[in-house]
Structure formats: structure tokens, C-alpha cells
Homo-oligomer: A and B are copies of this chain.
Amino acid sequence: MQGAQSRTALASLTGLSHASMTAIMSDLLTQGLVAEVTADRPDGRTRGRPATFVNFARTAAHAALFELDVNRARLSLIDYGGVLVDRIETELTPGTFAGIAPCQFLSDRLDALLARTPAARKTLRRVAISVQGILERDGRGLRWSPIQHLAGAPFASELCDARGLPVTLHKRGRLLAEGARWLDPALHEASVATVFVGSTVAMGVTFRGQIMGRGDEGATEFGHMNHVPNGALCRCGMRGCIEAYAADYAVLRNAYSVPETAPPAPAVPAQQYEMLMQRAEAGDRSATHAFNLAGRAIGFGLSRLLAIYDPSHILIVGPGARALELMRPEIDQAIKASLVGSINGAPHIIAHRDETEPIFKGLLMKTLNDIDQVDFAPLPNSGRAG
């Protein structure tokens, strides 16, 4: 569902009858969850009774969305209509969470945000946090994360207790999958593997438009799937992970012939990675070699993925998406060398450079859905289905 819709449109969209739609909307109107929009339609008038559009009542609820990245924290305030109200960004360094407890850090940001929009304080319903790493099974914290000093303390439940609000952790890979569905209508009902290539390598998957599981499922540890036994040293401490060949630090390491057992660089500046791509595009041997190795790792990873799960589309996002063409020959070759790839053919591989958009969209849609499903639970079905 997108924006304001007439009752008739909603009826045909949901498959319900007009009668039901009237009843449901009347319910939701009295509960203040939706509002009639009397916006003047800019398009030429048509015959017939004009439609009255309804939309989610923006002030019915608010949510705070954190996106925690290796080098940046972004906090967004959104309303029940899915509109971005305000946003705060903070730089992160590897030492940030050594100096301040994650819970405190998040709580401070939240106060700063609410100070700028005091009206949202009353209707703030939940806090959702996008993180990288492996979640605790109970969702209260992280077992491991590439963000230094973030794993360990159950900061989600601490923040929950401190603020009296539901706080949920969301694995970035899963949000990628969720967001990809919403950003491209063609992917909404498809089986899509969305791969992030950048400072890490992550993947979220959808299956016929559905995301499996509740917690961090739907995300995979694709980046830490083994590529070569006992191979290159990965940021996670294991050896031979795909990430250890395809993440930015790995390409850098290989381009400069640093031994693959050397510890990964904590962070690679965007310009440096960009420069490597340009050198590779210009034909520089060591750079192309590094991207070939990256493509080979991703290619064999995808070929192994295909043996288990056969998506119709593969979406590459993140800084590495720009290097897709550099890696594509190796990717294609690896897929072609597998039974499924050679029989079913390779899936469509699409590059979409910006990864923040799908992550934010995914976090937003997931959180709005949680508000509908959990906070407004015993109500007739609202659900932003589509």
C-alpha cells in the first residue's frame, strides 16, 4: 500500500468487499488510526461521486529508528504515516562504545531527537535498531558484531527498561531483504537475495515475497560462509570467509599484496575503495586481480547458495555494487560451473549502489508493521499489506 487510497481502491487491493471496507474504515476512523484526506486532487475532475481518500493518521504513533553502522549512527523519527519527521547523524569510531555504554549512547541520542520534536514524546511507540552481527537468541543484545564493543551487554533490553518502550534489534541483512521488497514493486512477490558488499558482506533473502522467521532469520551469514578452507583471515576471526575476499578491506589487502593472513584494516575510507575501482577499471593488474578474487568468492558463494535456495533475483547493494562489472566475469563463471546454475540458468543480478535506502525502508516498514501487529494488536485487521 502506498499513500492515500480511496475505499474502493483499498477494497480491490485487499480483495475485500466494499461493505467490509466501509465497516473496517469506520472502525479505524473512530480509533484515530486513519484519517480522511481532503486534499484537493490536482488531476482533472471526473464524473461520479468523488472518492474520499483515507490514509494512516500520521500522529497516531511515532517510532525512533536507529541505524548503527561501523562508522556512523543515524537516528530517524518517523510517524505512523511512514513519513520521516526528523533525523540525527553521529560519526562513530572504533573507540566510541569503549567510551560510552551502548545503551547510554542510544538513550542520549533519543533525548536529543525528542528535544527537537517534543510532540512525539507522547506518541512514541517503539525503538527499532538496525545492527550488524549475530543476535542473541532472545534478541536482547548481540553475540558478535563488526562494530567494536557493541556485543556483550544486552543493550536492547537495557534501553527498553530505561525508557519503558519496546526496543527491537534487527539484523541489517534482514532489513535489506525487507527494504528491497518495498523499493521495487517487481521484487515484492519475488524470491530475492539482497547482497550487501562494502565494509562487510551481508545478505538477506525473501522467498516468494515472504521473509522467513521472526527474529534475525531472513538474514543470512553469507559473508561468513566459508569460501576456502583455512583461507584468508576474516574480521570475524575465522579464516576463509567470503567477506575475507570480497569486503573492502579484503580487496585492499589483495590489491597491495598484503599477506591474506594479515589482520583486516578496521575501516577503509570510501575514497580509497573508490580509487581501487578506478584503478581496476583503468586496467591496473593488481587491482583487477583483487576484484577478480572478490568476484570469485562471491560467485562461488552464490553458486553454493543456489544449491539450497534458488532466487529469481539477486540484488547487489552497497559500495561494492559499483564494482559489479569488475567482478561479474568471475561470478558468472562460478555459477555456470554448478549444476543448478547451468540447468536453471543464472538468476538476474542487479546492482543498486545505495544500501542505506533499502535498510531504512526495511526498518521503517518492519517497525510500522510491528506497531500494527503488536501495539494495536486486538484491532480489526489494518496491516499495510500490498
A interface residues (Cβ-Cβ under 8 A, vs B): 134, 143-144, 203, 205, 207-208, 212-213, 217, 220-222, 224-226, 229-230, 234, 236-241, 300, 303-310, 334, 337-340, 342-344
> Which chain B residue lies CB-closest to A342?
B238
Residue among B229, B238, B304, B305 making CB contact with A339, cutoff 8 Å: B238
Determine whether the beta carbon of A220 is less than 8 Å from that of B308. Answer: yes
Determine whether the beta carbon of B340 is less than 8 Å from that of A300. Answer: no
Cα distance, A310 to B225, chains bound together (Å): 12
Residue among B220, B238, B309 making CB contact with A338, cutoff 8 Å: B238
> Which chain B residue lies CB-closest to A143?
B343
Q: Which chain B positions have C-beta within 8 A of A309?
A: 220, 308-309
**A-B residue pairs in contact (CB < 8 Å), sample of 12:** A134-B340, A134-B343, A144-B339, A144-B343, A203-B308, A217-B310, A220-B307, A220-B308, A221-B306, A224-B340, A226-B338, A238-B337
> Which chain B residue lies CB-closest to A240?
B337
> Which chain B residue lies CB-closest to A339?
B224
Known: A225-B338, A226-B338. 15 other contacts (CB 8 A): A203-B308, A220-B308, A221-B306, A221-B308, A221-B339, A222-B307, A225-B304, A229-B334, A237-B339, A238-B337, A238-B342, A239-B337, A241-B339, A308-B308, A308-B309
> Which chain B residue lies CB-closest to A205?
B308
Given contacts A229-B337, A337-B238, contact A305 B303 (CB under 8 A): no
Given contacts A229-B300, A300-B229, A337-B239, contact A213 B208 (CB under 8 A): yes
Q: Which chain B positions have C-beta within 8 A of A342?
A: 238
CB distance from A292 to the nearest CB of B (A): 13
> Which chain B residue lies CB-closest to A242?
B307
Cα distance, A383 to B220, chains bound together (Å): 33
Cα distance, A314 to B213, chains bound together (Å): 19
Q: Which chain B positions have C-beta within 8 A of A238?
A: 337-339, 342
Q: Which chain B positions have C-beta within 8 A of A338?
A: 224-226, 238
Determine whether the beta carbon of B236 is less than 8 Å from that of A339. Answer: yes
Q: How many copies does the complex hold?
A: 2
Determine whether the beta carbon of A224 is less than 8 Å from that of B337. Answer: no
Determine whether the beta carbon of B222 is less than 8 Å from that of A308. Answer: yes
Determine whether the beta carbon of B343 is less than 8 Å from that of A304. Answer: no
Q: Which chain B positions have C-beta within 8 A of A222?
A: 307-308
Q: Which chain B positions have C-beta within 8 A of A212?
A: 207, 212
Residue among B207, B225, B339, B340 making CB contact with A307, cutoff 8 Å: B225
Q: Which chain B positions have C-beta within 8 A of A207?
A: 212-213
> Which chain B residue lies CB-closest to A224?
B339
Determine whether the beta carbon of A225 is less than 8 Å from that of B308. Answer: yes
> Which chain B residue lies CB-closest to A309?
B308
Which 7 A/B pairs are nearest by Cβ-Cβ distance?
A: A225-B307, A224-B339, A221-B307, A220-B308, A236-B339, A225-B304, A221-B340
> Which chain B residue lies CB-closest to A237?
B339
Q: Which chain B positions have C-beta within 8 A of A226?
A: 300, 303-304, 307, 334, 337-338
CB distance from A384 to the nearest CB of B (A): 24
Q: Which chain B positions have C-beta within 8 A of A229?
A: 300, 334, 337
Cα distance, A171 to B215, chains bound together (Å): 30
Q: Which chain B positions have C-beta within 8 A of A240?
A: 337
Q: Which chain B positions have C-beta within 8 A of A225?
A: 303-304, 307-308, 338
Q: Which chain B positions have C-beta within 8 A of A343?
A: 134, 143-144
Q: Which chain B positions have C-beta within 8 A of A308?
A: 203, 205, 220-222, 225, 305, 308-309
Cα distance, A205 to B340, chains bound together (Å): 17
CB distance from A361 to the nearest CB of B (A): 23
